[in-house]
Structure 1
């Protein structure tokens, strides 16, 4: 018996062959796509770090370069936000507006210096490493040299831990680590609710200190010595001199009277 061409070639002839081949091709393509996407999700990483931002046109913008390469101008506002952020996703910005007047309004301008306002937002409890608590978001006004970089600005108002040019910790938070990878990304609302900043106190002397400094100031502008500042500890020179002078005068009078009496007797 003569075998058909189908048996010899191992192919399935006819319309059924074409339909089945198409189905297998699509199934293979879907399988490869699913595998690729699944692998991409599994390999996607998130990191816990301090992000550096600049306040521009009423909104926060992620800085394009590191803080050591930026020299902010007088009146600039910069932000720092600690958060867990996945790769290739929008950065999580500071949760308070960059209001220069609100942050630096109580800090007077100084000649030869610039004022830069900072928003330091340590993020949510879910962003903090295990066993650590995030400090409250705060505002700070840095009064620094006009040539100070943004890295120097934040170091002027906070305790900073740095590693290879990267700001790892601000206000001693976190205590360890630097841009560490995170397996699980915490669920956060979008957009995140705004927060109230802890603002710096007015940078002016207290009335008591001002009055005391005015009272202690000599007319010639010199600072009084330690002896003149003490209350009763210095030796009372003037009273002693007065007593000595009285004694001398009395003794002199007695001597004069005795001398006259001696002349009369003779």
Structure 2
């Protein structure tokens, strides 16, 4: 009886440790267009709004970079500096309109979907109405734009031809540190409460059942 109890405790503890130590499969990255805003000193800052709602002011610069990244913390920045004076030098100011510099970086060949080649970077100066959004400024210099049914920007100037924020690889290990969500984070994360995965719970139940069987067998032997 005592041996069976020790077996039950050892198996249950092993199941818990296994469930906590081996994290679920995590997405290695998503292929998508990230949205950036020009900051002070010629730097880029990851935008806190999407291009459909952000309303840049006259003299602002917006940027777009196509790449594979796990979240905003490791997303690649546009490789052209957000220099409004250079981008809009050939577009004179006009009453009742605003000028917004636009940088479109189609990314590296390694991040391109299969069978596609990224075009050369594109820049422009959009002259649009004062209330225009970043998406409207982008459309003024880099049509056509492609969106999905959730208003996620999927393609700029026809690139890429298909796909939208798709998962491109998987890796097994511990969950990444908390950070800004990726485009498909809510769909990819099946364990967002931070607890053990469903597989871990199933393993614990299965091992407990085996241990219970061992305990029952020990009781039968003692009654004989």
Give TM class, smaller chain: 0.5 to 0.7
C-alpha displacement of 1:137: 1.3
What is the root-mean-square deviation in Å for CA atoms of aligned residues? 2.7
1:97-246 correspondence to structure 2 within 5 Å: 97-159=81-143, 160-164=145-149, 165-183=151-169
**Which is bigger in relative contact order (C-alpha 8 A, separation at least 6)?**
2
TM-score by length of 2: 0.66
CA distance in 1, matches of 2:35, 2:14: 46
Would you say 1:51 and 2:38 are equivalent positions? no
C-alpha displacement of 1:146: 1.2
Structure 2 residues without counterparts, runs of 5 or longer:
172-224
TM-score by length of 1: 0.56
Contact 1:45–1:87 at 8 Å: present in 2 too? no
Total equivalences in the alignment: 168
Contact 1:73–1:146 at 8 Å: present in 2 too? yes
C-alpha displacement of 1:88: 7.0
CA distance in 1, matches of 2:170, 2:119: 22
Contact 2:27–2:169 at 8 Å: present in 1 too? no
Contact 2:67–2:76 at 8 Å: present in 1 too? yes
Structure 1 residues without counterparts, runs of 5 or longer:
1-7, 186-266
CA distance in 2, matches of 1:179, 1:28: 36
